[in-house]
Amino acid sequence: MSSYRFLIWIVCFVMLCGCKNPQHKEQTIFLKYTDSYNREVVLEKEPQRIISLSPAITELLFMIDAGDRLVGISDYCNYPEETKKIPKVGGMQNINMETMLSLHPDVVLIGSMVSQEDVDKIEKLNIPVIALIEESDITGISTLMLNLGKITSHDSIAKVEADRWQQTLENFRQNNIHRHGDPKSVYYVVGFGETGDFTAPKGSHINQIIELAGCRNVGEEVTTWNVSREFLFQADPDIIVVRKEDMQNFCSMYPYTQLKAVKENKVYPIESSWIDIVTPRNLHAIAYLQHLTSE
CB environment 25-47: b (16+ within 10 A), e (fewer) = eeeeeebebebbeeeebebeeeb
Average pLDDT, integer, range 75-91:
94
Spatial CB neighbours of 202, under 8 Å, sequence gap ≥ 6: 217, 219, 220, 221, 222, 223
pLDDT at residue number 24: 46
Segment 135-144, tens digit of pLDDT: 678 988 999 9
Any idea what DSSP says for residue 258? G
Segment 32-44, tens digit of pLDDT: 999 888 889 999 9
Tell me the CB-side half-sphere exposure of residue 218, using CA atoms within 13 A.
27
Domain count, the chain: 2
Give the domain range for residue 57. 31-161
**Shared domain check, 226 and 139:** no
The Cα–Cα gap between 16 and 285 comes to 66
DSSP string, 161-229: HHHHHHHHHHHHHHHHHT--SPPPEEEEESB-STT-EE---TTSHHHHHHHHTT-EEGGGG-SSSEE-H
**Shared domain check, 191 and 100:** no
pLDDT bucket at 10, cuts 50 / 70 / 90: low
Segment 227-261, tens digit of pLDDT: 999 999 999 999 999 999 999 999 999 999 999 99
Average pLDDT, integer, range 82-97:
91
Q: With left for phi above 0 and alpha for psi between -120 and 50, is residue 239 left, alpha or beta?
A: beta
**Shared domain check, 198 and 154:** no
Instruction: Report the chain's terminal Cα–Cα distance, integer Å.
Output: 101
Domain-located, residue 88: yes
CATH number at residue 127: 3.40.50.1980
Segment 254-285, tens digit of pLDDT: 999 999 999 999 999 999 999 998 999 999 99
Task: Flag whether pLDDT at 27 surpasses 80.
Answer: no
DSSP string, 91-124: -SSS--HHHHHHT--SEEEE-SSS-HHHHHHHHH
**Shared domain check, 212 and 268:** yes
pLDDT at residue number 4: 52
Domain-located, residue 281: yes
Full-model pTM: 0.83
**Shared domain check, 137 and 200:** no
